[in-house]
Amino acid sequence: MTIHIQQFDNSLFKGSVSVNTNLFIDGEFVDPLERHNVEVTDPTTGKVITTIAAGGKKDIDRAVEAAQKASRTTWGKNVSGAHRSHLLFKLAELMEQHCDELAALEALDSGKHYIYVKAIDFASAIGNLKYYAGWADKLSGKTIETEPDKFVYTIREPIGVVGAITPWNFPMTIACWKLAPALATGNCVVLKPSEVTPLGMLKFAELIREAGFPPGVVNIVPGLGSVAGQALVEHPGVGKIAFTGSTLTGRKIMQSSGNSNLKRVGLELGGKSPNIIFDDADIEQAVKWTALGLFHHAGQICAAGTKIYIQEGVYDKVMEQLVAAAKASANPGTGFDLTPQLDPVVSQTQLDRVLGYISSGKDQGAKVAVGGGRLGKEGYFIEPTLFTDVKPDMKIVKEEIFGPVGVVIKFKTEEEVLQAANDSTYGLSACIYTKDLDRVARFTSALESGSVHVNMASMSDRRAPTGGFKQSGFGKDQGEYALEDYTNIKAVTINHGQRL
């Protein structure tokens, strides 16, 4: 079924966009074998935009079958890296041409601002497609000296079928983090986007077909995680699962992999990232970056710096400015307002979850420095919130909230803050603010985190690896390192003289 969304009537984007709301399998939009629908909601109003088809186990089965067939016949080892590169570049060009429509759809179902989606999220998505298009014809193995009459060479081969499960907070960006290296290395993909924010990905499926990818190379099957996601994880025809989402779901994926075919798993999971401001920091810049990292997209970012450590010499000054920044951010709006506004959280479920954490903080004795409640009666907006007087065992200090909520902790010494920052089950990202280069060297080495950002908020780059330590997962998205997660290494030994 194709729908025409006509909710755009503003100076940023005017007109309508057509979207096929069925499943994209084997190069065609098809009805699910067992008809199920999911409502898609506008988070800025709480109103239903449309319904989409939700895939089930049988739909995952036929998507994997289509991917396996393509891997054997029209993709994988059957096409050159140069051809894969050409198609990825073509897809990136089509995204650029249709960026307005794609960004409007993503702004509509995610609540994000249209300008940010175009300028930041889609720039990242398109950049990843081009980056890995450049790698597609440059993959190589090694020649290894062994004995005088023998030598070994290695070959990088595609895994086969990759199952990609992507979240609702950065739908297009994270989908391209998975798709681009998987396709560049010759894999076929079954992608299950979040059923909460599927519209842009369904439009993206049209571009995949237009770019010339053979049927079955990319299949897009929205559906519930407990149904379509679980079926994909358990499927014996899938060789790898690439997942971004919660640590709880990541654990379940690991268990399912072990119980099925021991498929490879790459997990980019939750975080509770430290944001450390030292006495010698540029305070104005530190506050701006900290507020951006905490409140952008209503804090729905796994690498958000939600544990804010401030050294005692500048604590009062930083707190004054952070509270002012939080109050200035408390201006809810739609994704199409002329100037960017505070984003809503994505759903009623997420609204209830975040407000539950705020209530927990209050109940456990933390002090609300600013915010602490819902904004307005329409949509899913939450006041930018900061807690002080927190203790290490509080729920709001230990657990990922995934909303515009931060905890602020005063510290005296480097040793104290380093121990506190590393005392976490997570290890995704960390930020430090200081002018002391010796301190930078010490902390970038000592922090137990997959990435460390100095004098800036946590921001990814397609040329650098993204991924965590500890219960923030393992494996890498982006950069050259991600290529290793989408290939198998085969060793070939040649005996050219030694005889028995």
Active-site pick, 101, 106, 268, 400 = 268
Name the strand (E) or helix (H) holding 222. none
Q: Cβ neighbours of residue 494 under 8 Å, at least 6 residues apart?
A: 150, 151, 152, 153
- Give the residues across from 268 on adjacent strands: 244, 473
Cα separation of 254 and 235, whole Å? 13
Which tokens is 58 given? 């049988």
The C-alpha angle 393, 416, 279, rounded to 5 degrees, equals 115
Cα separation of 108 and 45, whole Å? 10
Q: Cβ neighbours of residue 225 under 8 Å, at least 6 residues apart?
A: 165, 192, 195, 249
Q: In what order do the strands lie in the sheet with 150-158?
A: 143-147, 150-158, 487-495
Catalytic site includes residue 268: yes
Q: In what order do the strands lie in the sheet with 451-454?
A: 367-370, 385-388, 405-411, 307-311, 274-277, 429-433, 451-454
The C-alpha angle 59, 182, 265, rounded to 5 degrees, equals 75
Handedness of CA 354, 356, 357, 359 (dihedral sign): positive
Phi-psi region of 495 (alpha: psi -120 to 50; beta: other; left: phi over 0): beta
State the number of CA atoms in the 13 A half-sphere of 475 facing the CB.
22
Instruction: Could you list the beta-strand ranges (E) of 216-337.
Output: 218-220, 240-244, 264-268, 274-277, 307-311
Cα separation of 243 and 232, whole Å? 11
Tell me which DSSP letter residue 343 carries.
Answer: P
For tokens 């905890």, the residue is: 407
Cα separation of 6 and 17, whole Å? 7
Give catalytic residues, as residue numbers: 268
